[in-house]
Amino acid sequence: MENFPTEDILWRPSQEIIEKSNLTAFLRSENLPDFGTLLERSNQDPEWFWNAFIRHYDIRFYEPYEHVLDTSDGIEWARWCIGGKTNVVLNVLDRHRDTPIWQKDAVVWEAEDGKQRKWTFAEYDAEVSRLAAGLKKLGVGKGDAVGLFMPMVPEVSAALLAIAKIGGIVVPLFSGFGKQAIAVRLNDCEAKAVITVDAAIRRGKRVAMKATLDEALQDIPSVHSVIVLKHLEEDVAWKAPRDHWWSELTAGMPMDEPTEIMDAEAPFMVVYTSGTTGKPKGTVHSHCGFLTKVIADFVLCQDFKQSDRILWISDMGWVVGPLEVLLAGFAGATMVLVEGTPDYPDKGRIWRLIQDHKASFLGIAPTIVRIFMAHGADIAEQYDLSSLRITVSTGEPWTPDSWHWFFRHICKEKVPILNICGGTEIGGAIIGSIVSLPLKPCSFNAPMPAMGADVVNEAAETIAPGQVGELVLRLPSIGLSRGLWKDRDRYLETYWSTFAGLWRQGDWAAIDEDGMWYILGRSDDTLKVAGKRTGPAEIEGVVLETGLIDEAAAVGVPDKIKGSAVVCVCVPAAGVTVDDGLKRKISDAVVSGHGKAFLPKDVVFASDLPKTRSMKIMRRVVRAAYLGLDPGDLSSLVNPDALEELKTKARG
């Protein structure tokens, strides 16, 4: 792990890209010569940066804040935009009223079966207002938590903004959750209402979402209202007076409902993220914080523009869903919203969507790319992808083969891959890629401004280029979670206890001699074999390079001699025969790449690997299944069949 692979620069921005970038405009407004100077000054004086940024991008307040940052309670409990009054809806919709953007497409939607709908910003705002008024009629208001349990239909974005508009707290739930996962989250935040649909379509199958919610609600006494969107004309059980059809609740409601004036730090959203043990963690995001961080990362650094059409196939239960809604709305851009998955009903669906909707800003996960690699480049090359301007990747670390495949066949070696790393607790990115700087494969070319991102050793000392350490923050960030919902001690223990005064992200990272950053996997997933430390991605990389395997997870298991040994769980490529010979080839590849100490104790073949809804491989679940241990919280597991298969294989 101390010698991570690094390659030469493969993409450089043209002078035109640099000149037209949002970053260059900001640098000029602040009389700064380059990003390096901006980064240095922002880390030395974060208050200067956030004041300048909020002013430059006209992030709006009903009442201006007195000062931007207060750390009087400690860096862990930083407060932002003190005394200010705002609302995310003021900045996402209200700002565009009486401008040409009002008649522009805000949401373009395509269902799994190909049906399409569109909303202009005016139509979008009217839907948000009517639902907001309906929620108020039901007695839902400021400070009330409202669950959002919906597939990716246009109304899910309207529901998110309607809750915020009335000052409620959005609690987004993954559309594939079962009753227990729903109940744990909504009980934790004492939700007063839930917005859902009758049913959804997932890979051609109907999923009865209201029926699942009804089961969960038997154990959630705080919920007094359920709003149901009639999406598929599914027959549903009805409980009066609790249940309300969306269409009936919003009929005749005003299309210009006023937006509630909120304290800048009032909670806008609680997003739950799973831990290895215990109940899910409720990350708390404020009206001023989440929006400002999203705009800093994606508009300033990743160059998102009003002219863009963003396609990022996701779910509202993952932080990317709300991020998309706020980003596109603030910028006055068009959000291409998609029901379903990237490769169903056909293996080239995502590429066709880019072509048909002229998507210019594409979000993608490396895990998804590896799936498309298995389908073959010929499928992607049937489509016109010339509308693409920017691609942004997040989730799992890239492997070199998947990065090169995507850069060659999708980006055509012209469009940059702007890699970002952060997460739910961050409200965006810690490190990322700046559009006006060069890129190496699998790299991040810069840390985000005003965060004090660093890579440190066990003594919290900055390490030299080429070494591997823990990714940390030395500064509070405006987008950070404001603690964990009703769990102050767990927040401090999880993020602030390893290094005094530093936020620990839980990722292994490194910086090369050229200043490029790399994420090498979760520190909790680290393998230490015979005293040698390595990240799972390094072992998985050499396995995937054989061309015999589509996906791999390397985990450590107890070993009497080495202390820990490697087990590789692999998904074979199509047409590859699974036998002892394949096991030997995989083992030989690992030994050839990393030495005899890393000879796998076992190689297991499966049809799928356990993944989160954001398509991250759940290595702790793989390890637990192999060892017959309790896997911990499984609420973010998107494919439980994969877990059951692994348990069966392990017993066999």
The helix (H) or strand (E) run that includes residue 271 is strand 267-273
pLDDT in tens, 468-516: 899 999 999 999 999 999 999 999 999 999 999 999 998 889 999 999 9
Smallest CA-to-CA distance from 195 within 134, 241, 254 is with 134
Give SS3 for 85. strand
Over residues 292-296, mean pLDDT: 98
Q: Say if residue 273's pLDDT is above 60.
A: yes
- Whole-angstrom distance, CA of residue 536 vs CA of residue 522: 9
What is the per-residue pLDDT for 1? Answer: 44
Same CATH topology for 121-263 and 526-651?
A: no
Q: What is the DSSP letter of 346?
A: S
DSSP per-residue string spanning 113-146: TS-EEEEEHHHHHHHHHHHHHHHHHTT--TT-EE
Q: pLDDT tens-digit profile of 319-328? A: 999 999 999 9
Number of Cβ atoms within 10 Å of the Cβ of 585: 15
Percent of the chain with pLDDT over 70: 96
In the structure, what pLDDT confidence band is assigned to residue 652 with cuts at 50, 70 and 90? low
| Architecture, CATH, for domain 526-651 | 2-Layer Sandwich (3.30)
Cα distance between residue 498 and residue 458, in whole Å: 9
What CATH code is assigned to 121-263? 3.40.50.980
Assign 651 to helix, strand or coil. helix
Q: How far apart are CA 299 and CA 330, in angstroms?
A: 10
Determine if the pTM surpasses 0.75: yes
Cβ partners under 8 Å of residue 287, min gap 6? 86, 87, 88, 164, 262, 263, 264, 265, 266, 268
**Residue for token pair 């609690």:** 171
Domain segments of the chain as ranges: 121-263, 526-651
Higher pLDDT: 561 or 377? It is: 377
* Dihedral sign computed on CA atoms, order 314, 320, 322, 326: negative
Residue 277 reports pLDDT greater than 80 = no
Sheet holding 468-473, edge to edge: 453-456, 468-473, 503-511, 517-522
What does the alpha-carbon distance between residue 9 and residue 577 come to, in Å, rounded to a whole number?
Answer: 37
Instruction: Report pLDDT for 412.
Output: 97
- Where does the pLDDT of residue 539 fall: very low under 50, low under 70, confident under 90, or very high at 90 and above? confident
Q: What is the pLDDT of residues 593-648, one digit of tens each?
A: 777 878 999 999 999 999 886 677 888 899 889 988 888 778 778 888 899 999 88
Is the Cα torsion angle 375, 378, 384, 385 positive or negative in sign?
A: positive
pLDDT the model gives residue 483:
96
* Cβ neighbours for 416, distance < 8 A, ≥ 6 positions apart: 11, 13, 390, 391, 433, 435, 439
pLDDT in tens, 104-149: 999 999 999 999 999 999 999 999 999 999 999 999 999 999 999 9
pLDDT for position 552: 92
pLDDT confidence of residue 533: 61
Q: Can you point out the beta strands (E) in 292-432? A: 309-311, 334-338, 361-364, 390-393, 417-419, 421-423, 428-432
The reported pLDDT for the residue numbered 507 is: 86
